Chains A and B, each alone.
Chain A
Amino acid sequence: MLIEIKDIYKIYNEGKESEVRALDGVSLQIDRGEFVAIVGQSGSGKSTMMNVLGCLDIPTYGDYLLDGTEVTELSDRQLARIRNREIGFIFQGYNLIQELDALENVTLPLIYQGVSVFEREDRAMEALERVGMADRAHHRPSEMSGGQQQRVAIARAIATHPPIIMADEPTGALDSKTGRHVLSILRDLNTEGSTIILITHDDGIAAQAKRRVRLSDGKIVSDEALKEGAVV
């Protein structure tokens, strides 16, 4: 099992009147090569779920085994290593660094990985080509459309060839055509063996996945396999 969480809680202001249980005892297993959509309304805890799964946040209680490693016991440095090598993130707001051009943004995770100067530019270019953005390598995010920025963000997520790709509302800020393009890239990546975890509030987008996990009030309310090839 690639990802295995057991009784995960994420509680804010615990014990106070304003206590919020963003995740309320969630258990989930995701296998290598799956394409899972985590769906839920705003406030259902799906973003917290991704933060915990992506090692961006630490759960209040619970166990998280990532490829057999207990993540909750890892040091800051080891977590950074996991975020760098094991997981690629795609955010709703792209989260590109505005001061850097597309190529530099994609190179960044490779720099942190310690890839040599000569190799990393090639690998970053390769990732940009993969998403069809090679011709915009030296454009800044402000000079690109939302769809183009999201493709650069995908290139950044896949530059280190991580086994897991997490996408938080990747199409949320895009029109439906570019959104479909982004989703098709994710599907292709899944076909090539990447494990994709897609967070969305939109059932139509979730239908692109092979499995749908529905969250409500911090709890999993349904977990079902989907038919392949549904078209939005």
Chain B
Amino acid sequence: MNLFQAFKMAFKSIALKKTRSFLTMLGIIIGVASVVIMVSVVAGQNKMQMAYMEMQGNNIVEVNAYSQTGQDMDQIINDYVATMGSDLVVGLTPNIQLYNEMIIRYGGKTFSTQNWERWEDMIQVVLANDKYGVCNNYQLASGRELSYLDMETENNVCVLGSGIKEKLFNYTDPVGETITINGLPYLVVGWYQSKSVQGWEEVDNVIVLPYTVNRTLNKNSDINQWKVKCPTSSATSEVQLRLQGFLDGMFPVDENGNQQGGWGNAYSNNTWQEHAQESAQMQAMVMGGIAAISLLVGGIGIMNIMLVTVTERTREIGIRKAIGAERRSIIAQFLIEAAVICGIGGILGILIGCAGSLIAGKFLLQGMILWPDQGIVLGAFLFSVVLGVIFGMYPAVKASGLQPVVALRAE
């Protein structure tokens, strides 16, 4: 008996027992689909996180500090950072994200900072200085950054992110136009290129104003968020450590673990990135383990059903042996049957896994187009087929070893 014939027989036997074959496949389908989806989702999540960090830019230290005794923290942080020199610090900007409601208008179009129904239309107003672009990884598309003079004279000017620029101006150049924020006019002096990071489109919906206009827009006039851009990764760690040490010295911790006189801390996204990577790896391992177990369960299902099949078909095996089937023909028939069932189950599982990944990408990862990794798909498929062969082996060997007369007696 040749291989082609064996395949034909296997397909035939599967087609004749559709329900049972499908139930057998179900284990593999669910196993493979869950492996594909889990791995894809974890990979997508990591990709998004990495993209977010990329977008944030490397080598940035975020500082938060608040003094309960009314000290001018902006002055203190500026003075301290100024002592560090250009080999450690490239730029420093206040980075105050305003959360009170503001209405932005231009030419009959209106947007709000509080549009919770359509987050993609929600605008973030940030108070900063001329180093905002540098410290947030933005590149100018046209016009200019805020200038030192804008701070000094509290000019009503602004720089737009590409998202809000498109919403207000479509494809025309906004430089020289005037928008209103809560009725006050602001002259657009420049706009940033899109960071175009999938899943984080709203970062382009930013309007940057000179921090000195704080008083007119922000009820709380204190400045307590900054970003420091450093030239290298080692400088970043250094600056982060120094700033944290400085703030710890300023607000010493009492015996209850509370900072006194205010609070302050400094993060660098480099350390954050490392943590994120570690936790992502952990996550991938845990998810992979769970997925592997579900595949294994599917495989055991295959083994079960193959055993039942063999018991059910003992008489058929007897007939086949009586008319001259060799042992290896019987083994081949059952092995191929198992492999084909697993193969079909694997392919269906991959299809469902791909669909599931795309759906998960759309709803869980903010519309990310999540195609499963080809290696994972191939691996899951091969694994399911190999599983079928391994688990099909035992019952096939068992069946083929029967004496024909014993097998024929079975009913």
Contacts and interface: CB of A to CB of B under 8 A. Distances in A.
A81 B323 CA distance: 9
B410 to A, nearest CB: 11
Contacts of A81: 324, 326
A197 to B, nearest CB: 15
A15 B387 CA distance: 44
A56 B408 contact: yes
Interface in A51-65: 51, 54, 56-58
A57 B325 contact: no
A58 B406 CA distance: 11
A77 B327 contact: yes
A89 B323 contact: yes
Interface residues of A, number: 27
Given A56-B405, A58-B403, A97-B319, A112 B325 contact: yes
A97 B5 CA distance: 16
A17 B249 CA distance: 96
Which secondary structure characterizes the binding site on chain B? Answer: helix
A156 interface: yes
Nearest to A83: B324
B404 A108 contact: no
A150 B216 CA distance: 102
A113 B404 CA distance: 17
B1 interface: yes
B404 A156 contact: no
B389 to A, nearest CB: 22
A138 B35 CA distance: 44
Contacts of A91: 408
A68 interface: no
A51 B12 contact: no
Interface of B: 1-2, 5, 12-13, 16, 315-316, 318-329, 403-405, 408
22 contacts: A51-B405, A54-B322, A56-B403, A56-B404, A56-B408, A76-B326, A80-B321, A80-B326, A81-B324, A81-B326, A83-B321, A83-B323, A95-B315, A95-B318, A96-B319, A97-B319, A109-B323, A109-B324, A112-B1, A112-B323, A112-B324, A114-B1
